[in-house]
């Protein structure tokens, strides 16, 4: 019981405690992400606690297990990726759309690489991680479909899905990782190869692009004519 005349300190409001708890959760998740980005594919709880500057007990107070921690880390990573996304103007000519799409997509894939390598190890064993990766793949495929919608509409329905799957697979992380790590390509070289692949997929049905990603002769002549007007 407080002494007579002593000030009574009110307990911190519940919303203040909740805010501190959220900040600590995010701090711990960001510590995990930083370790992964440094090449630690499977950070342990003690290492995460040390990096975050909290006790091991605090880690498991805020997260029931490492899978729950991965889930919040994935949310933070998704926020970072979404902030990087730059929608491609679908009104641009196809060669320019491919150029800008590859520039934007490769930037995201480069940023994702360390975390993606880590979570792929646990995807078969974690429903949370599997769901997050499925969401990311669906979002990437939707962007591909949006960027190349005009060309896809030219195809019969029976062929449209196959071409869309080819475009999506060519611009997904596994192929990018193969170009960068397994084949040892520089970032500019990997981007050139990706442009060639996308252009090659589109060239089979679009009259506006050569298989090397350039405009057709007719389209180039039209562009010159328009510039001279």
Which range, 37-41, 123-127, 181-185, has the best average confidence (pLDDT)? 181-185
Of 59, 80, 85, the C-alpha closest to 70 is: 59
CB atoms within 10 A of CB 146: 13
Domains and CATH numbers, the chain: 15-65 (1.10.10), 85-228 (no CATH)
The burial of 113, by beta-carbon neighbours within 10 Å (0-12 exposed, 13-18 middle, 19 or more buried), is given as middle
DSSP state of 214: P
Query: Which has the minimum average pLDDT: 8-17, 48-57, 145-154, 210-219?
Result: 210-219
Which range, 1-10, 128-137, 142-151, has the best average confidence (pLDDT)? 142-151
The burial of 26, by beta-carbon neighbours within 10 Å (0-12 exposed, 13-18 middle, 19 or more buried), is given as middle
Give the mean pLDDT of 157-175. 94
pLDDT (tens digit per residue) in 130-140? 888 898 899 89
């Amino acid at each position: 019981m407080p002494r007579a005349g002593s000030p009574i300190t009110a307990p911190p409001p519940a919303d203040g405690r909740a805010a501190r708890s959220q900040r600590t959760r995010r701090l711990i998740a960001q510590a995990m992400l930083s370790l992964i980005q440094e090449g630690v594919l499977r950070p342990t709880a003690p290492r995460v606690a040390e990096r975050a500057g909290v006790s091991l007990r605090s880690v498991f107070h805020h997260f029931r297990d490492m899978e729950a921690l991965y889930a919040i880390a994935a949310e933070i990573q998704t926020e970072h990726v979404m902030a990087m996304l730059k929608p491609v103007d679908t009104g641009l000519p196809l060669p320019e759309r491919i150029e800008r799409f590859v520039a934007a997509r490769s930037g995201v894939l480069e940023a994702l690489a360390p975390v993606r390598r880590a979570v792929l190890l646990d995807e078969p064993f974690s429903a949370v991680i599997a769901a997050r990766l499925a969401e990311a793949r669906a979002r990437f495929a939707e962007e591909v479909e949006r960027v190349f919608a005009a060309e896809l509409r030219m195809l019969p329905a029976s062929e449209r899905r196959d071409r869309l799957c080819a475009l999506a697979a060519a611009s997904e992380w596994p192929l990018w990782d193969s170009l960068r790590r397994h084949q040892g390509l520089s970032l500019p070289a990997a981007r050139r190869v990706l442009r060639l692949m996308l252009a090659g997929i589109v060239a089979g049905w679009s009259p506006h692009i050569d298989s090397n990603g350039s405009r057709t002769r007719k389209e180039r002549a039209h562009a010159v004519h328009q510039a001279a007007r």
